[in-house]
Amino acid sequence: MSSSFPVEKIRNIGIIAHIDAGKTTCTERILYNTGKNYKLGNVDDGNTTTDWMAEEKARGITIVSAAITSEWKGYRLNLIDTPGHVDFTAEVERSLRVLDGGVVVFDGVAGVEAQSETVWRQANRYNVPRICFVNKMDRTGADYFRCVDMIRERLKAKPLPIMLPIGVADTFKGVLDLIEAKAYYFDQKEDTSFTTTDVPENMKSVYEENRNKLIEILAESDDDIMNAYLEGAEISNDQIRAAIRKETLTGLCYPVLCGSALKNKGVQMLLDAITYYLPCPTDMPPMKVTDPKTGEDLHVELSADEPFSALAFKVVADPYVGRLVYLRVYSGKIHAGDAVLNTTRDQKERTGRLLLMHSNRHEEIEESEAGNIIACIGLKNTLTGDTLCDINRPILLESIKFPEPVLSVAVEPKTRADRDKMIDALTKLAEEDPTFKVKYDEETGQTIISGMGELHVDVLISRLLNEFKVGANIGAPRVAYKETLKSLTKAEGKFIRQSGGRGQYGHVLVQFEPLEHGKGFEFVDMIKGGVLPKEYIKAAEAGIKDAMEAGGRSGYPVVDLRATLYDGSFHEVDSSDMAFKMAGSLALKDAFSKSSAVLLEPVMRMEVVTPEQYMGDIIGDLSSRRGQVESIENHGDTSTLHGILPLSNTFGYATDLRSMTQGRATYSMEFNQYQEVPANLAEEIRAEAAGK
3-state secondary structure 215-244: HHHHHCCCHHHHHHHHHCCCCCHHHHHHHH
Helix and strand totals (H; E) in the chain = 16, 38
Find out whether 405 and 436 touch, Cβ atoms under 8 Å.
Answer: yes
Supply the pLDDT for residue 88.
54
Going by the DSSP 8-state scheme, the letter that residue 337 receives in this structure is T
- DSSP of 7-67: GGGEEEEEEEESTTSSHHHHHHHHHHHTTS-SS---TTTT--SS--SHHHHHHTS--S-EE
pLDDT at position 358? 65
pTM of the full structure:
0.70
Report pLDDT for 433: 80
- With a cut of 70, list the residues of the chain below it in pLDDT: 1-4, 36-66, 81-92, 94, 188-192, 319, 358-361, 442-444, 499-501, 691-692
What is the spatial distance between Cα 374 and Cα 327, in angstroms, rounded to a whole number? 5
Give the pLDDT score at 407. 80
Res 91: pLDDT: 62
Per-residue model confidence (pLDDT) at position 55: 43
Closest CA to 666 of 15, 16, 18: 18
DSSP E strands in 73-205: the ranges are 75-81, 101-107, 130-135, 159-161, 163-166, 174-177, 182-186, 194-198
Quick one: pLDDT at residue 64?
42
Taking alpha carbons only, the member of 415, 483, 474, 479 closest to residue 447 is 474
Q: Give the CA dihedral 377, 378, 384, 386, nearest 10 degrees.
A: -120
Sign of CA dihedral 282, 285, 291, 296: positive
CA 536, 538, 539, 541 torsion: positive or negative? positive
What does DSSP assign to residue 200?
P
Contact between 122 and 293 (Cβ < 8 Å): no
Rg (CA), the chain: 28
Residues 192, 264: Cα–Cα separation, whole Å? 7
Torsion sign, CA atoms 312, 315, 318, 322 = positive
Report the alpha-carbon distance of residue 328 to residue 98 in Å, rounded: 6
Q: Please return the burial class of 567, using the count of CB atoms within 10 Å of its CB with bins 0-12, 13-18 and 19+.
A: middle
> How far is it, in rounded angstroms, from Cα 378 to Cα 352?
5
Q: Which residues pair with 569 in a beta bridge?
A: 507
* Buried/exposed 541-554: b ≥16 CB within 10 Å, e otherwise: bbbbbebbeebbbb
Q: Is there a contact between 623 and 673 (Cβ–Cβ < 8 Å)?
A: no
For residues 49, 55, 56, 60, the Cα torsion angle rounded to the nearest 10 degrees is 130
pLDDT of residue 692: 47
The total of other beta-carbon atoms located within 10 Å of residue 624's CB is 9
| Sequence-separated contacts (24+) of 200-209 with Cβ below 8 Å | 200/166, 203/164, 203/166, 203/176, 206/164, 206/176, 207/164, 207/176, 207/178, 207/181
CA angle 625, 628, 634 (to 5 degrees): 115
Query: What's the CA gap between 249 and 127, in Å, rounded?
Result: 9
Q: How many other β-carbons are positioned within 10 Å of the β-carbon of residue 18?
A: 27
